[in-house]
Amino acid sequence: MSFESELRVVTKEDFSTYKNSFDNILDKIQKSNDPNKLNYTPKRFPLDEQEEVTLLLYKNEVVAFSTLFHRDIFPDRVSRALNRMWKDPSIRFLDRPYWVVSRKMLLPQIEAAKSLNKKAIFISVQGERSNWLRRWVSEAKKDIPGWQIASGVRKVANGDDPLCWQHVAYLPLIEHFELELPMKSFAQWEKEYHEFKNL
């Protein structure tokens, strides 16, 4: 059997069964040297505010998770998919843009968004990863037509530093949708980003 065929998807409906395993992973992240570990603290990752929680299990062990999430600065009825995506180190470097992990978790999050009457979902990436995002969208469109890359960089978090502005791809769930997230040009953002890194 292939790795993909052995992966099992668990959604919010059945999440309680794996809550202890999930909490253990969060604890492990906090004890690691992961540069993004603060993103998984209760303050920055309030579980009860996630609209959907998606786990991937391999041999009954959680090897990846992400969520569907809306925050106040997002447009009405627009949420970020694959939010706070985490992958176990054992599979992290096997995962190309839009490989097994994205595909498996994205579909239930799209269904959750539709059930919540969302206008669109989006994904975002930090830093200078626009090429990665283009490759991701190119692959995703083969399964789910309609993905678009937003122009410039968009503000997706509260705060003033350049990391609050990210590259964004979005999937409209209604006709005639336009993404209304604050935008700045890539050139302007890149200048601010390099100044920020050199502080």
CA angle, corner 55, sides to 54 and 60, nearest 5?
Answer: 155
Tell me the backbone φ, ψ of residue 79, rounded to 5 degrees: -130, 155
Task: Flag whether pLDDT at 86 surpasses 80.
Answer: yes
Condensed to tens digits (0 to 9), the pLDDT of residues 45-68 reads: 999 999 999 999 988 889 999 999
Which residue intervals of 41-183 are DSSP H helices? 89-92, 100-115, 130-143
Strand partners, 55: 10, 65
Q: pLDDT averaged over the chain?
A: 90
Q: Is the pLDDT of residue 185 over 90?
A: yes
Q: What's 39-82 look like in SS3?
A: HHCCCCCCHHHCCEEEEEEECCEEEEEEEEECCCCCCCCEEEEE
Largest CA distance in the chain: 50
**Per-residue pLDDT tens digits for 6-16:** 889 999 999 99
Residues 6+ apart with CB under 8 A from 34: none
């009825």: which residue's tokens?
Answer: 77
Q: Are 44 and 37 in contact (CB under 8 A)?
A: no
Say what the pLDDT of residue 92 is.
66
List, in order of start, the domains of the chain with CATH numbers.
3-197 (3.40.630.30)
* Tokens 């960089």 -> residue: 153
pLDDT digits (tens, 9 = 90+) for 155-169: 999 888 898 999 999
Place of tokens 């009860």: 48
For residue 193, the model assigns a pLDDT of 86
Q: Which residues pair with 67 in a beta bridge?
A: 53, 83
Its pTM stands at 0.92
Q: How do residues 110-132 score in pLDDT, each as one tens digit?
A: 999 999 999 999 999 987 788 99
More confident residue, 59 or 154: 154
Q: Tokens at residue 9, please?
A: 């998807």
pLDDT on residue 161: 87
At 184 the three-state DSSP class reads: strand
